[in-house]
Amino acid sequence: MSTKLLLDVDPGNDDAIALFIALAADDVDVVGVTTVAGNTTVENATRNTLSLLELVDRSDVPVAEGAHRPLADGLETAEHVHGPDGLPEAVREGLPDPTAEPTETHAVEFIIEQAREHGDDLTIAALGPQTNLALAVARDPSLPDRVADIYQMGGALKTTGNVTPQASFNFYVDAAAAARVVQDARPKVVGLDVTEHVYVGTDEIRGLAEEPAPLPTMAAILEFSIEEVRSKFGHDGGLASDAVVLADIVNDALDFEEAYVQVDTTGGPSNGATIYDEHGVYEHAPNCEVALDVDGAVYQRTVLESLRRFAEG
């Protein structure tokens, strides 16, 4: 039986790779995609999602637009990282204009509807700020009990942040939403401890660029981070953090352990920081599972094999 999957995204380059992996998998049925403000505005994220689906002839997948700002703060985007409107020009040039329109249903209601329809056949992967998911759980507190798994992409458990010294981008830009999901949704937390340690090699990426369409456009998505990875981490490859979640859904790339976690919402210099009670100091029962190890070979193989499937037929 295939996994029913709902993706909540803010494309964003790594969201795009995650979406392609999900669509390529034989045992994954993408029941819909919801969009949220994060890497770019929600309007841009929605258009980018529709164009990415059009690129791989999957405009049949429903897309529901969601929250246009965080729960409590103003929107801070990452277009300086991902490119104008959320994607680099080299990628945008290879994307078709979308022919489909988003659904009239708001993303929050769509998430609730899908949870009620598919129940424990459904996995939810929230790959951007957690605003839509937090609102859905607030409106339907039984939602986490209905579904199989909820993946929360974000956090920095035992490592430093990528937008402040303590916080990852997804948690920082909507700390209140991230905290709500950790507290109420019993998520699988996939943070920088694993996502910054796996890459697709530069040679492999440039090999994709020589293959039939649409692989050159996909290669351009991966290539955007090569220089940053080389200068920041000393590795020769491209980073696609959100794709780590899909590598686990498709091929069990991650190792998890139960833990008690909080998210700092104080608004100070540690706002959005992940407070990981590694040694049980609080003596609280675990409220989530945290990813602490990743199989890099499985990750790279999942990305490359998934993308190549779109050139095979």
pLDDT in tens, 218-254: 999 999 878 777 778 788 898 899 999 999 999 999 9
The sign of the CA dihedral 3, 136, 50, 81 is: negative
Residue 94 has a CB neighbour count (10 Å cut-off) of: 18
Given this model, what pLDDT does residue 230 score? 79
Residue 193: HSE in the Cβ half-sphere, 13 Å Cα cutoff: 17
Residue 302 CB neighbours (<10 A): 26
**What is the 3-state composition of the chain as percent helix, strand, coil, each rounded to the nearest 5?**
45, 15, 40
Strands 274-276 and 261-263 turn out to be: antiparallel
Q: Tell me: the pLDDT tens digits for 178-218?
A: 999 999 999 999 999 999 999 999 999 999 999 999 999 99
Establish how many alpha carbons lie within 13 A of residue 279's alpha carbon, considering only the half-sphere containing its beta carbon.
1
- Per-residue pLDDT of 255-291, as tens digits, reads 999 999 999 999 999 999 999 999 999 999 999 999 9
* pTM metric for this prediction: 0.97
Query: Cα-Cα-Cα-Cα dihedral of 51, 24, 134, 277, to 10°?
Result: -130
Helices then strands, each counted (H, E), the chain: 15, 12
Q: Tell me what pLDDT residue 80 has.
A: 83
- Give the pLDDT score at 248: 98
AA letter at 195: T
Tokens 């049949």 sit on residue: 60
